[in-house]
């Protein structure tokens, strides 16, 4: 039987076989991906998509900051754009960034260019592509507030350009088709004083360091805030602060963060999250929606749905 790698097109980027997703996610857990592909650039990705057999599953990821990969790993090819699709430049007060560029890098670039309005990005871990996929936000702003348009490639190699309304962006949600792989975004800022922008970014960094756990393996905010109130408040009220299952624990500092204490499996983390949701509902609290994206197969080998 032909190996999966032998069925894939020649590329300028790199392929790696049976690569543990624990090395590609902030949680540090997850089974292997059959193949991880890091395209050299957008053209390389376009060639891959055009020539890759259609029966091979493709899963795009960014920095893995808001991602939980299950212990059975991911079938097919994981496309990781955060290695090379990272160009950032600006035209006037518009910043154009590759999908693999980190949010923090874009915030710092904008600050140096005297472009205000993108400071909130310094408080969001992850990449521009990941931020588009979930309409990430922090400190009163979210992606849909600053994105003019985004560019993506489809599974058949079609190039798509879409605005936030066309992508159905809403609170921590984007309805863009799952087979879109974002490659860039145009962000709209405004003229600003670099020192004033820097000061605001420092405020955000300071606030984040004092309110969120640091120096630990976590995936950021676990659940989106409900229509009323805060997710952490509902979790705390349900008595889940410090709750632990296996090697996964609810942060004592901010209970909307789950932590890998060092020995957690993906199943520990997901089970802890589901236990929290159940306890919150049993205590009369709201239905909590996962903000963290969950992917892959259970360790038994069966594919799970998000």
Catalytic residues: 172, 221, 291
Cβ neighbours, 10 Å, residue 184: 23
Yes or no: say if 251 and 264 are a contact pair by the CB < 8 Å rule: no
**C-alpha to C-alpha distance for 23 and 2, rounded to whole angstroms:** 27
- CA 182 to chain CA centroid, nearest Å: 12
Closest CA to 254 of 245, 243, 264, 241: 241
**C-alpha to C-alpha distance for 116 and 110, rounded to whole angstroms:** 7
230 Rama sector, left if φ>0, alpha if ψ -120 to 50, beta otherwise? beta
Yes or no: say if 138 and 131 are a contact pair by the CB < 8 Å rule: no
251 Rama sector, left if φ>0, alpha if ψ -120 to 50, beta otherwise? beta
Cβ contacts of residue 209 below 8 Å, gap of 6+? none
Yes or no: say if 268 and 210 are a contact pair by the CB < 8 Å rule: no
**C-alpha to C-alpha distance for 110 and 227, rounded to whole angstroms:** 32
Structure tokens at 85: 């699709």
Half-sphere exposure of 263 (CA within 13 A, CB side): 4
């Amino acid at each position: 039987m032909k190996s999966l790698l032998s069925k894939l097109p020649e590329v300028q980027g790199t392929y790696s076989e049976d690569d543990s997703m624990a090395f590609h996610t902030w949680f540090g857990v997850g089974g292997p991906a059959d193949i991880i592909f890091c395209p050299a650039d957008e053209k390389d990705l376009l060639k891959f998509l055009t020539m890759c057999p259609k029966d091979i599953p493709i899963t795009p990821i960014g920095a893995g900051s808001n991602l939980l990969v299950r212990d059975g790993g991911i079938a097919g090819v994981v496309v990781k754009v955060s290695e090379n699709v990272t160009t950032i430049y600006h035209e006037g007060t518009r910043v154009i960034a590759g999908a693999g560029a980190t949010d923090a890098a874009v915030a710092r670039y904008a600050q140096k260019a005297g472009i205000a309005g993108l400071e909130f990005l310094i408080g969001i871990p992850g990449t521009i592509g990941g931020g588009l996929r979930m309409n990430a936000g922090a400190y009163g702003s979210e992606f849909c507030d600053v994105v003019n348009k985004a560019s993506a490639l489809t599974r058949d190699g079609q190039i798509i350009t879409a605005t936030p309304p066309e992508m159905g962006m809403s609170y921590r949600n984007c309805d863009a088709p799952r087979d879109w792989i974002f490659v860039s975004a145009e962000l709209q800022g405004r003229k600003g004083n670099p020192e004033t922008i820097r000061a605001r970014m420092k405020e955000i960094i300071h606030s984040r360091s004092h309110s969120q756990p640091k120096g630990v393996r976590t995936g950021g905010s676990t659940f989106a805030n409900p229509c009323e109130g805060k997710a952490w408040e509902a979790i705390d009220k349900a008595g889940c602060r410090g709750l632990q299952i296996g090697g996964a624990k609810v942060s004592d500092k901010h209970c909307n963060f789950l932590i890998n204490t060092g020995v957690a499996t993906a199943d520990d983390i997901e089970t802890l999250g589901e236990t929290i949701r159940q306890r919150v509902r049993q205590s009369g609290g709201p239905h909590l929606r996962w903000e963290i994206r969950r992917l892959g197969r259970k360790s038994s080998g069966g594919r799970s749905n998000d």
